[in-house]
C-alpha cells in the first residue's frame, strides 16, 4: 500500500495505490497530515480498501506532491553513516547529531530545486525519512520505538555547504532550510510493510552514480534515534525525521557541487524514485 498526494501546489489531494490501482482518499480525510496519522488513518485506509469503499481514480500525468502535508517539524540526523562521517573529516558520533530544517522547504519528489543566489556548494543527500504517528515520550526500550512510526518515505536533504559550515555561526540550519531544499516522496509506505534497517539507497547526478549504500550501515538505527529524540524534543504526529545520508556527496571533494541544469535522482528500495532539476532563483 502506497499513500501519496497529487495535484498542483496548494490544491493537492490524498490518494492510495494498492496492487496497481489508485483510489481517492477524500472520503476518509482532507489530507495526509498529523491528525490523520494519529487517528489511525493508515489502518482506516486499509479497512476501506478491503471493504471496497474508495472510489477509483487515475493520476496519470498529474504532479506528485510530498506524501505528507507540510509537517510540523523536519528533524535531521547528521553523520549517521560512518563512511559519510569520514568523508566529512569527522569520526562517527558517539551520540546522534541533531539539527532542524524548516518545514516550508518540503516539496514534491520531482519538483525543481532552486539554487540559492550566491550558492557555490549545493549538495545532494539521499535519506530514509521516518514519519511520526504519535508522540514518543522518554522511551527507554528501542523495541517499542517503531510503535510511534506511521511510515517511511524517500527524502533528499539538500544542503548548501558554505552556508552550513562557513557562515553558520556554529550551527547547520543556514545551509539546510532554503526554499525547495527537501524533496520528499513519491510515496509513504506504512511502517508495517517496511524494515527500516535493510534498505538499499542510491543517488545519481546527471545519470552518474553518487551514493550506493544500505540503511544497515547506519550508526544509529531508526529505533535508537526515536528513543534518543524522545528525551530531547516533543515529536508530533506528522513530523518527519531525516535519518542521515551515506557517503558519496559533494562535500567529499570527489564530485562537483550542483549547478543549474543538473538532474538529481534518488531511490530507496520499496519507497520509489524521485528526480529534480536544479534551476536558478528568479524573482
Q: Quote the number of domains for the chain.
A: 2
State whether 181 and 41 are in the same domain. Answer: no
- Cα–Cα distances (Å) from 250 to 121, 203, 204, in that order, read 8, 12, 12
Distance CA 23, CA 107 (A): 22
Tally the C-alpha atoms within 13 A of residue 115's C-alpha that lie toward its C-beta: 18
- Cα–Cα distances (Å) from 149 to 1, 33, 102, in that order, read 16, 13, 21
Among 113, 125, 70, 126, CA closest to 239 = 70
Among 40, 42, 71, CA closest to 235 = 71
Q: Supply the range of the domain harboring residue 176.
A: 74-280
Helix (H, G, I), strand (E, B) or coil at 222: helix
State whether 9 and 36 are in the same domain. Answer: yes
283 residues of the chain, pLDDT tens digit each: 999 999 999 999 999 999 999 999 999 999 999 999 999 999 999 999 999 999 999 999 999 999 999 999 999 999 999 888 787 777 889 999 999 999 999 999 999 999 999 999 999 999 999 999 999 999 999 999 999 999 999 999 999 999 999 988 888 999 999 999 999 999 999 999 999 999 999 999 999 999 999 999 999 999 999 999 999 999 999 999 999 999 999 999 999 999 999 999 999 999 999 999 999 999 8
Give the distance, in angstroms, between the CA of residue 199 and the centroid of all CA atoms in the same chain: 14
Distance CA 177, CA 157 (A): 9
State whether 16 and 91 are in the same domain. Answer: no
Task: Please report which residue ranges of 21-176 form alpha helices under DSSP H.
Answer: 34-38, 41-51, 82-87, 161
State whether 53 and 134 are in the same domain. Answer: no
Distance CA 128, CA 244 (A): 7
- Here the CATH number for the domain that contains residue 146 is 3.90.850.10
- Cα–Cα distances (Å) from 53 to 45, 46, 152, 193, in that order, read 9, 10, 25, 22
State whether 56 and 124 are in the same domain. Answer: no
Contact yes or no for 69/13 (Cβ under 8 A): no
State whether 180 and 236 are in the same domain. Answer: yes
Distance CA 159, CA 115 (A): 10
State whether 46 and 108 are in the same domain. Answer: no
State whether 119 and 164 are in the same domain. Answer: yes
Amino acid at each position: 500500500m502506497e499513500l501519496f498526494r497529487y495535484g498542483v501546489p496548494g490544491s493537492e489531494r490524498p490518494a492510495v495505490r494498492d496492487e496497481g490501482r489508485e483510489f481517492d482518499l477524500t472520503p476518509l480525510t482532507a489530507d495526509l497530515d498529523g491528525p490523520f496519522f494519529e487517528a489511525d488513518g493508515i489502518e482506516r485506509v486499509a479497512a476501506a480498501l478491503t471493504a471496497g469503499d474508495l472510489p477509483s481514480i487515475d493520476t496519470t500525468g498529474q504532479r506528485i506532491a510530498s506524501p505528507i502535508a507540510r509537517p510540523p517539524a523536519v528533524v535531521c540526523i547528521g553523520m549517521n553513516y560512518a563512511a559519510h562521517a569520514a568523508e566529512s573529516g569527522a569520526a562517527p558520533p558517539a551520540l546522534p547529531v541533531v539539527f532542524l530544517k524548516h518545514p516550508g522547504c518540503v516539496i514534491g519528489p520531482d519538483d525543481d530545486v532552486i539554487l540559492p543566489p550566491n550558492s557555490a556548494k549545493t549538495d545532494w543527500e539521499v535519506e530514509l525519512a521516518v514519519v511520526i504517528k504519535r508522540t514518543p515520550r522518554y522511551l527507554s526500550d528501542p523495541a517499542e520505538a517503531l510503535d510511534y512510526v506511521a511510515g517511511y518515505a524517500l527524502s533528499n536533504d539538500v544542503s548548501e555547504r558554505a552556508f552550513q559550515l562557513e557562515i553558520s555561526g556554529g550551527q547547520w540550519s543556514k545551509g539546510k532550510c532554503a526554499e525547495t531544499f527537501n524533496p520528499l516522496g513519491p510515496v509513504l509506505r506504512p511502517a508495517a510493510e517496511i524494515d527500516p534497517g535493510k534498505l538499499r539507497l542510491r543517488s545519481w547526478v546527471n545519470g552518474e552514480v553518487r551514493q550506493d549504500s544500505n540503511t544497515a550501515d547506519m550508526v544509529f538505527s531508526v529505533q535508537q534515534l526515536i528513543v534518543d529524540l524522545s528525551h530531547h524534543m516533543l515529536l508530533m504526529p506528522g513530523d518527519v525525521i531525516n535519518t542521515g545520508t551515506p557517503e558519496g556527496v559533494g562535500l567529499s571533494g570527489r564530485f562537483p557541487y550542483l549547478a543549474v541544469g543538473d538532474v538529481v535522482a534518488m531511490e530507496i528500495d520499496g519507497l520509489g524514485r524521485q528526480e529534480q532539476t536544479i534551476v536558478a532563483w528568479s524573482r
